[in-house]
Amino acid sequence: MVTNSSALIFWKTESLTNATVSYGLNTSLLESESNTTLDTQHRIQLDGLNIDSKYYYRVTTNGTESETYHFRTAPPDGGEFKMIIIGDNRPHSVITEQPEEYKQFVQMIAAEEPHIIIHSGDCVLDVSDNHEANLLSWEAFNNVTDGMGHYAPIYAAIGNHDTGSKTGARLLEYFFDAFEQYGEPSTYYSFDYAGVHITVLDTEELGYEGRIVGDQYDWMVNDLESSNREMKFVVAHRPMYPLTHIGDSLDSVPAERDALQQIFEDHNVSLFICGHDHLYNRMTVNGVVHIISGGGGGPLYSTPWAVGFYHYMSSNVSQSEVSLAAISLSGTTRDSYRLPYEGPIEIFLRAIANTSTHQIGTMPEIYFSARPSQKYFSWDSGGNQTDLTGIPDTNGLHTLDVYANDSEDVWSSAYFEFTAVGEVITTTTTTGTGNGMDPLLIFGSLAVAGVVVVLIVVFWHKRGK
């Protein structure tokens, strides 16, 4: 754990040993700190370090030396730092086999020499009531993750696979072991780094999965309210606008999700970082950029519009500017973005992979990067409507025009084409309402400002007549 003037180096040994950290601005490691009290857990604090500097270090324990690693101290408030985001690396089926993709990303991330790393959760396949198996499973995770953890502090949000919730209890000791924290360990916490406020939430509270409620909710509101930082990020495992885990993410109670979004808007949260959906998605909702980054190595969710790819996020952050890039296994940038965004309103279609178990509402969902002063929707070049209603009920090609006006009276527009190829299923009920669900399979292409055409597939349901 590293600040702009200190670092806490933490390691464990199997037997009682003494502990020394040798460190310095070059590999001569001319300075050192020691603890002669024999222990198995070693915490050596290095103080008086130079700001925004690369330090090399090595630990020695009863005469056994580690390799030489390095880390970077934080820049001053407002200074630029490199932040990595990765998550959902959990094994596919064997608890001790961390995915090869994750191993490769860990090496790529270490080579980037980041200041800090954010892990958005789901480190391991399972936490069961078998203690020995849990130890093996987390050891496999830690052994791989150390490949970057030796070089930068990792701040993690807990994922559903990390909690032991399947046992009916919360088994957090392994998570807390893997991610050493200052003070009393907590699954939700916040910190300031170089003038940026970062709040980490726990979407996995037993019985309240996919919700932020009770003490945590009160804490979060107070945390965001009391921070005067201009740049704020929130990290959690489950998304607010999931593409596949629909209805069991932070949208499990939609009114609560909407309230959370409002709190983030009110408190100037720039970025909401999450995983859980094993894919990549970026969408701005009223000024809050929602990044789903769940491509760290776990089994990808196949999505028809091809956002299921392995990746991590590389980000340069300062208190006034953020650049974000989704980096694939081959090292190519699959998406990039810069904040603050200063163009006309961006219009997003939330591409939703509906399945038989995860159904969304009756309409395509359109989001705006800022609240429009005016907005209009037009189906099939028909009349403008101020709210999106009236999904066409015939198969074939349909078009949707969306217009949004920003506070400076600049209009944006987006044009969507959908081809409905579904079959209308009429059901009869005895309640007299006579409504059945009519699955429509809709293929479309989305043109964004004439720059890129993205092929998407959207499924949605509409009510029968």
Please report, as ranges, the residues that interact with Fe ion according to CB under 5 A: 122, 159-160, 276
Residue whose CB is nearest to Fe ion in the complex, by number: 276
Q: How far is the CB of 276 from Fe ion (least distance, A)?
A: 4
Which tokens sit at 331? Answer: 């090292």
Least distance in Å: CB of 337 to Fe ion? 24
In 3D, which of 118, 176, 191, 194 has the Cα closest to residue 149? 118
Q: What stretches of 159-279 adopt beta strand conformation (E)?
A: 189-193, 196-200, 231-235, 269-274
Q: How far is the CB of 31 from Fe ion (least distance, A)?
A: 42
Smallest gap, in angstroms, from Cβ of residue 114 to Fe ion? 23
Judged by beta carbon, residue 134 or residue 160, the one nearer Fe ion is 160
Please state the separation of Cα 46 from the chain's center in Å.
31
Residue 174: count of CB within 10 angstroms of its CB: 22
**Residue with Cβ nearer Fe ion (122 or 205):** 122
Cβ-based nearer residue to Fe ion, 197 or 245: 245
Question: Is the Cβ of residue 58 or residue 238 nearer to Fe ion in the bound state?
Answer: 238
Of 122 and 223, the one with the shorter C-beta distance to Fe ion is 122
**Which residue type occupies 310?**
Y
Angle (deg, nearest 10), helices 100-112 and 131-149: 30
Distance in Å, CB of 88 to Fe ion, minimum = 6
> Residues 71, 74, 80, CA angle at the centre, nearest 5°?
115
Structure tokens at 411: 């209009």
Q: Which is nearer to Fe ion, 180 or 209 (CB)?
A: 209
Question: Three-class SS of residue 278?
Answer: coil
Min separation Cβ 261 and Fe ion, Å: 20
Least separation, in Å, of the C-beta of 237 and Fe ion? Answer: 6
CB of 103 to Fe ion, least distance (A): 20
DSSP letter, residue 110: H
> Three-state SS string across 251-277, please?
CCCHHHHHHHHHHHHHCCEEEEEECCC
Measured distance CA(317)–CA(81) in Å, rounded: 5
Nearer to Fe ion, 250 or 391 (CB): 250
Spatial distance between the Cα atoms of 22 and 12, rounded to a whole number of angstroms: 16
122 vs 202 by CB, closer to Fe ion = 122
Classify residue 365 as left (phi > 0), alpha (psi -120 to 50) or beta.
Answer: beta
What is the rounded CA–CA span in Å between residue 111 and residue 107?
A: 6
For the chain, the maximum distance between any two Cα atoms, rounded to a whole number of angstroms, is: 84
Residue type, 168: G
